[in-house]
Structure formats: C-alpha cells, structure tokens
C-alpha cells in the first residue's frame, strides 16, 4: 500500500515539525545535487530553519550563482522597463499621428477644401472661426499702418527741422559774404589836431594872416590823413567847416579889438 496524502499545513507538534524538517531538508538537498549532476545545471539552495540556522547547497559556488542571479534579475527588470517605455512611446506616437491628421483636416477646412463630410453645425462653427480670424487680421493690419504713419510723421518733422537749420546756416553764410569782416579797426573817437593860433594884424585896413599857407597845407594833410585812415568824407568836411568857422570868428574878434 502506498503512503497516504498528508495535508499541507503547519505541524503543531514541535518534535514532529523538527523531524519532518530534517528529513525533507536532506531530501531537498539530495534532489538538488542530483539535478545539477544529471542535467548539468547550476543549482543553489538556501534554507533557513525556524530557529535561524542556515543550510545551503550550490553546484558552482554560492557567490557566483548569486551574482549571476542578480544580473539576470537586473537585465530582466531593464528589459521590462524598456518594453513598457516602447509601449508608451508607441501609444504617444499614435496619439501624435491622430492629432496631426486632425490638424491637417482643420487646415483644409480653413482653406475651403474637403468639406463634404461636415454638418451644418460644423460649418457654422467653421464660419465663426474664419470671421474671428479675419477681424484679428484686420486689427493687426490697422495697427501696423498706424505705426508706419507715426514713423513717417516723425521722419517728416525731423526733415523739416533739418531743412530749417540748413536755411539758417545758408542765410548766415550769405550775410557773411555780403559784409566781410575787415582787419582794420576804426577808432571809436576822432582825433582832431590842435590848431595853432597865429597873430592877425591889420595893415591899411586889410586883415592879413601870417600862416594862411600853413593852414592850407594842414588842411591838405588832414584830408590825406582822413582818406588814409578810411574815415568818412562827411566827417572830414564837417571838421574842416568847424575849423574855418573857428578861424573866422577869431579873426573877427581880433579885428574888432584892433
């Protein structure tokens, strides 16, 4: 008769549980060794008892097997992560393709093409969008035109100011050409030479002047000096007239005294 089936659950009796642990542990390690030998497999078994004791078996060394296990788990996790990323990327690509297709259709509708499948509501909505876009375009165009007008006004004012400045400079140059600056300086006052009085006497009722010739020569010299200094002719004539009146008055007074 075969062995009956045992219910798989925790053994309550501590002695029975310890005996069962020892028997099955030995059988498990034996089976692992047989598997490694028969199948040329790398097998490692780690067992901890309920009291904390360690039991292990490894066909190629526990550290080597554990490092290999870690590499495999890491690579598998990386592969899983990459697979998930690829799936997400593919989903994103599909969503972007759908969005691009929608935008292309809307662009065709705005251009008035491929509107056969649109309903009345969709056409009305498209009309509203076109009207709003047209108003925005007109407003922007008006703003640009106003900016250009303002710039042209500013440039015109600048040009007018520059022209006015040039006109003033030209008038100043013309005045300079008409009235050139001379190096000769005209004195602020006129120097009149001192007229030396001569004795006047009467000989047989005739008034004689002893220095008439000298006075004439002085007058000639004064006129030449005035011309040489660049004095006005009327000033010279006035000076001569004043000297003549003075000379005549003095002569008359002397005659009266005699």
pLDDT tens sequence across 49-86: 988 899 999 988 889 888 888 888 777 667 677 777 77
Where residue 198 falls among pLDDT bands split at 50, 70, 90? very low
144-183 residue pLDDT tens: 999 999 999 999 999 999 999 998 888 888 888 877 655 4
- Helix, strand, coil share (%) of the chain residues, nearest 5: 70, 5, 25
Model-level pTM? 0.32
Residue 250 lies in a domain: yes
Q: Return the pLDDT at 239.
A: 62
Residue 121 lies in a domain: no
Element (H, E) at 92: helix 62-110
| CA dist list (Å): 226 to 86, 154, 212, 230 | 116, 60, 21, 6
| C-alpha to C-alpha distance for 92 and 98, rounded to whole angstroms | 10
Number of domains the chain contains: 2
DSSP secondary structure code for residue 91 in this structure: H
15-45 residue pLDDT tens: 988 999 999 999 999 999 999 999 989 999 9
Of 5, 32, 60, the last residue of a domain is 60
Measured at the CA of 104, the angle between CA 102 and CA 108, to 5 degrees, comes to: 115
Residue 247 lies in a domain: yes
94-126 residue pLDDT tens: 899 999 988 888 888 888 887 877 888 888 888
Residue 231 lies in a domain: yes
Please state the φ and ψ torsions of residue 179, each to the nearest 5 degrees: -120, 80
The parent domain of residue 205 ranges over: 200-257
Q: Token pair of 49, please?
A: 């008892």
């Amino acid at each position: 008769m075969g062995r009956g089936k045992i219910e798989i659950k925790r053994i309550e009796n501590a002695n029975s549980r310890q005996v069962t642990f020892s028997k099955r542990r030995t059988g498990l390690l034996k089976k692992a060794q047989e598997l490694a030998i028969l199948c040329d497999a790398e097998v490692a078994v780690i067992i901890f008892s309920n009291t904390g004791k360690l039991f292990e078996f490894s066909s190629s060394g526990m550290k080597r097997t554990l490092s290999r296990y870690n590499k495999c788990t890491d690579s598998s996790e990386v592969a899983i992560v990459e697979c998930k990323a690829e799936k997400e990327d593919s989903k994103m690509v599909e969503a972007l393709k759908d969005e691009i297709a929608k935008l292309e259709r809307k662009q065709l509708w705005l251009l008035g093409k491929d509107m056969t499948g649109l309903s009345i509501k969709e056409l009305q909505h498209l009309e509203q969008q076109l009207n709003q876009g047209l108003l925005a375009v007109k407003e922007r165009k008006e703003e640009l035109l106003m900016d250009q007008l303002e710039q042209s006004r500013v440039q015109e004012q600048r040009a007018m100011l520059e022209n006015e400045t040039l006109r003033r400079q030209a008038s100043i140059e013309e005045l300079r050409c008409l009235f050139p600056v001379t190096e000769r300086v005209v004195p602020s006052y006129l120097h009149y030479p001192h007229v030396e009085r001569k004795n006047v006497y009467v000989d047989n009722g005739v008034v004689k002047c002893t220095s008439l010739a000298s006075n004439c020569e002085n007058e000639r010299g004064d006129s030449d000096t005035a011309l040489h200094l660049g004095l006005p002719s009327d000033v010279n004539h006035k000076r001569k007239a004043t000297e003549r009146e003075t000379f005549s008055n003095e002569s008359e007074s002397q005659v009266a005294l005699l």
